[in-house]
Amino acid sequence: MTLPTTAATPAPVLALDAVTKAFGPIEILHGVDFALHPGEVHALIGENGAGKSTTMKILAGYLDATGGRVLLEGAPVTFAGSDEAEDRGIIMIHQEFNLAEHLSVDQNVFLGRELTRGFLLDHRAMRARTADLLAQLHCRVDPATPVNRLSVPDKQMVEIAKALSRDARVLIMDEPTAVLTERETEVLFAQIERLRAEGVAILYTSHKLGEVKRIADRVTVLRDGTMVRSDLTADVTEDDMAAAMVGRELSDLYPPKVPARVGGGAAPILEARGITVPGIVHDASLVLHRGEVLGIGGLVGSGRTELAEAIAGLRPRTGSVRLDGVDLPAGQVAQAMRAGLAYLTEDRKGAGLLLDKSLRENLTLPLLETFGRPLIDRRREEAALDRAIAEFAIRAPARDMAVGDLSGGNQQKLLLAKVLLSDPQVVIIDEPTRGIDIGTKQQIYTLIARLAAEGRSIIVISSEMPELIGLASRVIVMHAGRIAGELSGTAVTEGGIVRLAMGMNDMDKDTAA
C-alpha cells in the first residue's frame, strides 16, 4: 500500500499502489508502492535497470501499469498519454533530451502551448518569457538560438526552463544534473527549493548520492524492480543508500592504482605536442606512458573534450600526435584507430550508439570488415557479443532488443565493449560514468584498472573530481583552452585540481595572501 499520511505530511498528490509492469513475459516492476507529497522532494534511486525510468514513465503517463493502481489526489486514474498527465500538472524532465533540434530555444519551450495574440503567434511574448526563465537559471543562451547549436549542459537548462514554464503540481526530474557543472547544479537546487516552498511535489532521481542526501526529504530505493526501502533522508547515510541499491556493502569503490611503466628510459606510448584547435584549444601538449591512467580535468568549456577529439582524429588541429613512434595525421580517425587509439565519447546516445539497432549491430559496426567479406559472418558477430556480455556484465532482457531500451549503465558497458573490440593500445574515455549508478561505476573503475594492468594506456576525462583522484596517478588540468598545470602522486587533490581549473597558480595564491 502507499505510504501513510501523518499530520505533518499532507496527503499524496500522486501515488502508485502495488504497481506492476511487464513487457511481454518479462515483469520489470513487482508491486511498487510510491507516493509524492506536496512540498516534498522524494528521491528515487537504484542501479541502472532497477526500474526507476519505468516507474517515472508510469507516473507521467508515458506508460500504463500492467497491474495495481495510479492514484491522483487519492482517486484511481488512467492517463491517455503524457499530454493528459501534463494537462493535470504532472511534468517530467527527461534524462534523454526531448527537444526539437532544429527549432529555436523559445519555440521548444512553448512547443504545443504557443502563446497567441488574436489568430497569430505571439513570438515576442514567447521570446521574452523564455528569456526570463533562462535568466532564473543563470543561463546565457539567446532564446532565438537553434537547439542544435547548443552545448549539452545548455540543452539541459532548456529542458529545465521548459518545465518551469508550466504550472506543475508534480515535477519529475530524471538525472537533471548529470551534465551540469557545480555552479549550474547550485542554480537548479535554488529552483527546486523555490518549487518545494510553493507546494510542488518533486520526484528526483540521481546517481550522485551526495545530491540526494542534500536535496531530498525522503529517499526510496528500487532494486531489480522491487522497492527495498523508503526512509526520511535524514535517517540514512550515503553508504546505507549504496548498500540498499546493490544489495551489498561497497567498500573500496576505487581499485588500487596501477603504477605506470615509466622506468628504464622507455619512450611514452603517446605524445601530443602543440595541439591547437582554432578558437578552442591553444598549444596543448601531453605525454602518456604505457600502463598509465592519466586524468584530464577542468571546468565544462575548458577544452578537455576538444583536445581529446583532436588527438583521436575527430577534429581539425595543428600540432603533432605520435602513437608508439608513428605520426598520426590530423582529422584521420580511421587511421588513428588502425594505429591503436580508441575514443569513447561523452555522448553515448547522440554519438556513441545507434539506439534503434540491436546489441550485435552496435558492437561490431566499427569493425565490419573483420567479420567477413563480402558477407557478414553472423556467427562470428554473435560470438563476439557473447564475449562482450560476459566480460562486461551487460544485462539485457533480449539480445535482439534495441539498444535505446537498455539502461544507461548497460549502454555504457556496451559502448566500452565496442571501443575495446579493436584491441587498442591507448583508450581515451570521456566521462566514463556519467548517469551511471554506483554499482556500475565500481565495475567500470575495475575495468579501467584491469586495462592499465594489461599494459594499455588510458586517458580519463571527468567532471567528477573524486573520479580523477581515485583513478589517475597523474592529472592534467585545463583552463580556458590551455593546460593550466599538472599534478601527480599525493599532489592529486581536490584543492589542487580546483585551483588550476579556476586559473589560479602559486603566484596568484601568494598575491592573494
Does residue 130 belong to any structural domain of this protein? no
Pairing of strands 41-45, 14-23: unpaired
Check if the beta carbon of residue 464 is closer than 8 Å to that of residue 436: no
Report the Cα 146 to chain-centroid distance in Å.
23
Q: What is the residue range of 211's domain?
A: 1-6+13-89+201-248
Query: All 3 cell numbers of residue 189?
Result: 537546487
Above 60 in pLDDT, residue 3?
A: no
Verify that 75 and 17 share a domain, yes or no. Answer: yes
Helix or strand holding residue 68 (H, E): strand 67-72
Helix or strand holding residue 30 (H, E): strand 26-36
Q: pLDDT over 90 for what percent of the chain?
A: 55
SS3 201: strand
Give the mean pLDDT of 360-383. Answer: 86
Pairing of strands 116-117, 120-121: antiparallel
Amino acid 463 reads S
Check if the beta carbon of residue 270 is closer than 8 Å to that of residue 307: no
pLDDT tens, 136-165? 888 889 999 999 888 878 888 898 888 888
SS3 36: strand
Q: What is the pLDDT of residue 4?
A: 44
Other CB atoms within 10 Å distance of the CB of residue 85: 23
Does residue 433 belong to any structural domain of this protein? yes
Does residue 286 belong to any structural domain of this protein? yes
Going by pLDDT thresholds of 50, 70 and 90, the confidence category of residue 104 is very high
Check if the beta carbon of residue 262 is closer than 8 Å to that of residue 256: no
Q: What is the pLDDT of residue 7?
A: 47
Q: What is the pLDDT of residue 106?
A: 94
Verify that 333 and 431 share a domain, yes or no. Answer: yes
Query: All 3 cell numbers of residue 36?
Result: 509524492
Domain-terminating residue out of 215, 248, 281: 248
20: CATH: 3.40.50.300
Q: How far apart are CA 68 and CA 125, in angstroms?
A: 43
Sheet strands (E) in 363-470: 426-430, 457-461
pLDDT tens, 278-306? 999 999 999 999 999 999 999 878 999 99
**More reliable by pLDDT, 219 or 494:** 219
pLDDT tens, 196-208? 998 999 999 988 8
Give the mean pLDDT of 359-383. Answer: 86
pLDDT tens, 249-280? 656 778 888 765 554 456 799 999 999 999 99
Q: What is the pLDDT of residue 260?
A: 59
Amino acid 92 reads M
Does residue 66 belong to any structural domain of this protein? yes
User: Per the structure, how many domains does the chain have?
Assistant: 2
Verify that 219 and 321 share a domain, yes or no. Answer: no
Q: What is the pLDDT of residue 368?
A: 82
**More reliable by pLDDT, 429 or 224:** 429
Check if the beta carbon of residue 86 is closer than 8 Å to that of residue 126: no
Rg (CA), the chain: 24
Domain-terminating residue out of 184, 218, 248: 248
In three state form, how does the secondary structure of 348-392 look?
A: HHHHHCCCCCCHHHHHHHHHHHHHCCCCCCHHHHHHHHHHHHHHC
Q: How far apart are CA 284 and CA 473, in angstroms?
A: 20
Verify that 433 and 309 share a domain, yes or no. Answer: yes
CA atoms within 13 Å, Cβ hemisphere of 427: 27
Backbone φ and ψ for 374, nearest 5 degrees, come out as: -85, -10
Helix or strand holding residue 343 (H, E): strand 341-344
Verify that 220 and 325 share a domain, yes or no. Answer: no
Above 80 in pLDDT, residue 8?
A: no
Verify that 1 and 84 share a domain, yes or no. Answer: yes
Backbone φ and ψ for 482, nearest 5 degrees, come out as: -125, 155
Verify that 212 and 334 share a domain, yes or no. Answer: no
pLDDT tens, 12-51? 999 999 999 998 877 889 999 999 999 999 999 987 778 8
Verify that 443 and 508 share a domain, yes or no. Answer: yes
Q: How far apart are CA 321 and CA 25, in angstroms?
A: 52
Verify that 216 and 326 share a domain, yes or no. Answer: no
Domain-terminating residue out of 248, 281, 307: 248
Does residue 82 belong to any structural domain of this protein? yes
Above 50 in pLDDT, residue 347?
A: yes
Q: How far apart are CA 433 and CA 462, in angstroms?
A: 8
Above 70 in pLDDT, residue 166?
A: yes
Verify that 313 and 433 share a domain, yes or no. Answer: yes
Verify that 428 and 507 share a domain, yes or no. Answer: yes
Q: What is the pLDDT of residue 495?
A: 86
Does residue 22 belong to any structural domain of this protein? yes
Does residue 208 belong to any structural domain of this protein? yes
Q: How far apart are CA 190 and CA 186, in angstroms?
A: 6
Above 70 in pLDDT, residue 9?
A: no
Give the mean pLDDT of 408-430. Answer: 92
Does residue 62 belong to any structural domain of this protein? yes
Least confident of 106-115, 160-169, 480-489, 501-510: 501-510
Q: How far apart are CA 22 and CA 25, in angstroms?
A: 7
Verify that 287 and 335 share a domain, yes or no. Answer: yes
Q: How far apart are CA 142 and CA 297, in angstroms?
A: 28
Average pLDDT over the chain, rounded to an integer = 88
Pairing of strands 67-72, 75-76: antiparallel
Alpha-helix runs per DSSP H in 63-181: 82-87, 105-109, 123-136, 152-164
Looking up cell 560470438, which residue turns up?
383
pLDDT tens, 224-247? 899 999 999 999 998 888 888 877
